Structure 1
Amino acid sequence: MAEQPGADEPLAVPAVVSVLSTILQRQAERNDAASDGRRAPSAFHGVRKPSISVRRYLERIFRYACCSPSCYVVAYIYLDRFAGSHPAVALDSFNVHRLLITSVLTAVKFMDDIYYNNAYYAKVGGLSLMEMNYLEVDFLFGIGFELNVTPVTFSYYCSVLQKELYTESLPPPAAASRSLCCLTEEEPSSCRQKQLAV
């Protein structure tokens, strides 16, 4: 089989992925420090902290899931909705990875026409299929199946992410005139080639 051009090239990580990982890492560290080892029981709570950082984990999701950039914004909105419905379950180092893969999975199913199945996302996230399915259902009930995101809400969260980008002095998006959450961003060609429902 002939190798596709660019298949081994690393994909440029969009600014939305970098910013979101920074926000979630900071929130998890803040809640770790405040928890004193006490955590509310949750399906998302792990026995130990994963060895992979939030940034590397989200970059892994980006590299293999090939979902649209808007999915990361919507995943952030869903995480906020989940936190609002479950104030006792603070985002920390023991649950951030599971909440992240589940919110991205939920967002991609709602936002994108073509996406990978739960078994694929389970492998990307380092979970069993049974656990991925269970977390998805728990997450959906956790946000009350409120999946629709209005343009106003989407724009608001984009502005929050944009502000964080410039506050944290992260590398700016490739084109300064383009919005961080631009819905017309081109997918990497390697994603277009391998993106199909499995």
Structure 2
Amino acid sequence: MAECEELVESGAEDMPRVVAALAGILERVTERNDAAVAADLSVASAFRATNKPGISVRAYMARIARFARCSPACYVVAYVYLDRLLRRGRRLALAVDSYSVHRLLITAVLAAVKFLDDIRYNNAYFAKVGGISLVEMNYLEVDFLFGVGFDLNVTPGTFGDYCAVLQSELLCAEAPPEPPTQTPRLQYCCLSEDDAGAGASCSSQQQLAA
């Protein structure tokens, strides 16, 4: 998997390229969803904060990468988990926006680390990294696991497909942006596990699953 090997390398921001790629995707999704939901706090979710955190998605991911020190593969698996959670949570209108993206990220990475890495930090440490309390971290983890139906296994094929999406994101970051759509829609993640090989283009990253 050449894409996966390239994603492990560090980029200009001195962090794994996979972190920069995932940050780019989530920044775009967050911006579009903010326009779609107009910060509607009536949507009940443990992952939605009452106020927008003062740290950007990219800076938050850089903080996680710096202190969590997990394997780069964890970020690919965290991306898979986020996709699974959001697809299962459509009926609740759960989406990645400025109010939820940080909690979703820290919880997805925590779940991926526990599933993949033999050596890892505990929940108390991740809570400090994420800027939340241990009680909240524990609650979010349980809510997340139930949200994905405890479906934590990722096949090599699925892993490779999501690597391809992240690699494509790095290439698309240098391409001119497409004009925004006239009607905002809730955006989820970038690739369905049923759409094998469908994520390695700029257009597929702009047309996220609805």
Matched, 1:138 2:143: yes
* Residue 142 of structure 1: how far off its partner (Å): 0.2
Shift of residue 45 of structure 1? Answer: 0.4
How far 1:38 sits from its partner (Å)? 2.1
Q: Which residue of 2 aligns with 1:34?
A: 36
* Distance in 2 between residues matched to 1:105 and 1:38, nearest whole Å: 27
Q: Which residue of 1 aligns with 2:27?
A: 25
> What is the aligned partner in structure 1 of residue 52 from structure 2?
49
Instruction: Give me the whole-angstrom Cα distance separating, in 1, the residues matched to 2:53 and 2:23.
Output: 15
- Which residue number in structure 2 is paired with residue 86 of structure 1? 89
- Using the TM superposition, give the Cα deviation of residue 167 of structure 1 relative to its aligned residue in structure 2, in angstroms: 1.0
* Structure 1 stretches of at least 4 aligned residues deviating more than 4 Å after TM superposition: none
> Of 44, 64, 67, which residue of structure 2 is paired with 1:64?
67
What's the counterpart of residue 206 of structure 2?
none
1:7 corresponds in structure 2 to none
Q: In structure 2, how many angstroms separate the alpha carbons of the residues matched to 1:123 and 1:157?
A: 28
- The corresponding residue for 1:13 is 15
CA distance in 1 between partners of 2:21 and 2:70 (Å):
17
What do residues 139-179 of structure 1 show as CA deviations (whole Å, max 9, x unaligned)?
A: 00000000000000000000011111111129xxxxxxxxx
Distance in 1, matches of 2:56 and 2:38, equals 21
- Aligned partners of 1:36 and 1:164: how far apart in 2? 26
Match of 2:79 in 1: 76
**1:121 matched to 2:123:** no
- Superposition RMSD on alpha carbons, in Å? 1.2
1:12 CA drift (Å): 2.2
Equivalent residue pairs, number: 160
Distance of 2:48 and 2:39 partners within structure 1:
12
* TM-score normalised by structure 1 residue count: 0.79
Which one is further off, 160-169 or 65-74?
A: 160-169
Equivalent-residue separation in structure 1 for 2:163 and 2:89 (angstroms): 23
2:198 equivalent in structure 1:
none
The one-letter code matched in structure 2 to 1:155 is G
1:98 partner letter: R
Give the CA deviation at 1:90.
Answer: 1.1
TM-score by length of 2: 0.74
- Which residue in the other structure is 2:153 paired with? 148
Give ranges in structure 1 of 5+ residues lacking alignment: 1-10, 171-198
Q: Which amino acid aligns with 1:21?
A: A
What is the distance in 1 between the residues matched to 2:36 and 2:147? 23
2:152 alignment partner, SS class: coil
The runs of 5 or more residues in structure 2 that have no matched partner are 1-12, 176-210
